[in-house]
């Protein structure tokens, strides 16, 4: 099976794994402990209109900051302990939801906290090509996504007999084999430093934990639900 690593746009029409490690992918993954479905919206206005029509909990950020009028920001640390009265989360973020909008393949959501789980689920789902897609930050490469992608790719490679891995993907795997080095690079990334300045250290520390969740979100019919 062909296994590749891409930036912003998927090279696969089969299965793609969207990675926005800080923080959308992690928030989505952990939110599935408490919500039955997550509806990604591409603008705050769209999210507000949807809330009026169907109800639910609003969560989202722009440039790292919680959107005014939303119950929650894009905080996996907060959302993991949130106990909602509704089973629907309406979610928008600067980068992750933007990437989902243009996906045409079957899409899973991955990060460090579910790297093994999403890697194994992608093998179950794929027929010929798995592409791990880094969201980046506003069109620019983000090292934290590269590191999370590398961990996901490692579990794909280790569990796939016929694995045709691109060189870029191999490089990402190599970068993640020393976990202490990975954590250092993750926490020292530009995105992490900016979030820490905004008071989100708890989010950053949570997002760089490996394989603490078995949740894998699948994006179908405009919704994210738990892939079983």
Distance CA 195, CA 37 (A): 26
pLDDT band at 101 (very low <50, low <70, confident <90, very high): confident
pLDDT tens by residue, 43-84: 999 999 999 999 999 999 999 999 999 999 999 999 999 999
167-175 and 143-159 helices, crossing angle to 10°:
100
State how far the alpha carbon of 84 is from the alpha carbons of 25, 220, 223, in Å: 19, 23, 18
Q: Is the pLDDT of residue 97 over 90?
A: no
Name the β-bridge partners of 58.
Answer: 90
State how far the alpha carbon of 108 is from the alpha carbons of 43, 115, 136, 192, in Å: 21, 11, 17, 23
pTM listed for this prediction: 0.96
The pLDDT of residue 99 is: 87
Question: If you count them, how many residues does the chain have?
Answer: 228
Token pair for residue 115?
């790297």
- 3-state DSSP call for residue 36? coil
Mean pLDDT score of the chain: 96
State how far the alpha carbon of 184 is from the alpha carbons of 19, 40, 144, 147, 208, in Å: 19, 31, 10, 11, 9
143-159 and 115-125 helices, crossing angle to 10°:
60
Question: Distance from first CA to last CA of the chain, Å, rounded?
Answer: 22
pLDDT > 90 in the chain, percent: 94
Contact 189, 144 (CB under 8 A): yes
pLDDT tens by residue, 197-208: 999 999 999 999
Number of H helices, E strands in the chain: 10, 11
Arithmetic mean of pLDDT, 172-189: 97
Structural domain boundaries of the chain? 2-218
Which residue reads 């949570």 in tokens? 206
Distance CA 190, CA 186 (A): 9
Contact 114, 137 (CB under 8 A): no
Which residue reads 């402990």 in tokens? 33
Q: Is the pLDDT of residue 220 over 90?
A: yes
Distance CA 78, CA 33 (A): 13
Of the candidate CATH numbers 3.40.50.12780, 3.90.1560.10, 3.30.310.10, 3.30.465.10, the domain formed by 2-218 belongs to 3.90.1560.10
């Amino acid at each position: 099976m062909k296994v590749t690593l891409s930036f912003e746009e998927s090279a696969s029409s089969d299965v793609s794994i969207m990675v926005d490690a800080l923080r959308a992918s992690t928030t989505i993954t952990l939110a599935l402990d408490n919500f039955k479905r997550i509806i990604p919206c591409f603008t705050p206005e769209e999210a507000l209109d949807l809330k009026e029509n169907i109800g639910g909990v609003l969560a989202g950020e722009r440039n790292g900051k919680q959107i005014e009028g939303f119950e929650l920001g894009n905080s996996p640390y907060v959302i993991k302990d949130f106990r909602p009265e509704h089973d629907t989360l309406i979610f928008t973020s600067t980068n992750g939801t933007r990437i989902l909008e243009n996906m045409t393949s079957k899409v899973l959501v991955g990060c460090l906290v579910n790297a093994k789980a999403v890697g194994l689920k992608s093998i179950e789902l794929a027929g010929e090509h798995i592409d791990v897609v880094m969201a980046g930050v506003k069109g620019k490469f983000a090292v934290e996504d590269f590191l999370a992608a590398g961990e996901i790719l490692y579990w794909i490679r280790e569990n796939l007999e016929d694995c045709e891995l691109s060189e870029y993907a191999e490089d990402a795997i190599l970068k993640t084999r020393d976990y202490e080095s990975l954590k250092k690079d993750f926490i020292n990334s530009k995105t992490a430093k900016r979030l820490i300045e905004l008071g989100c250290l708890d989010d950053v520390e949570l997002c760089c934990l490996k394989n603490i969740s078995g949740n894998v979100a699948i994006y179908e019919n405009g919704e994210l639900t738990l892939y079983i």
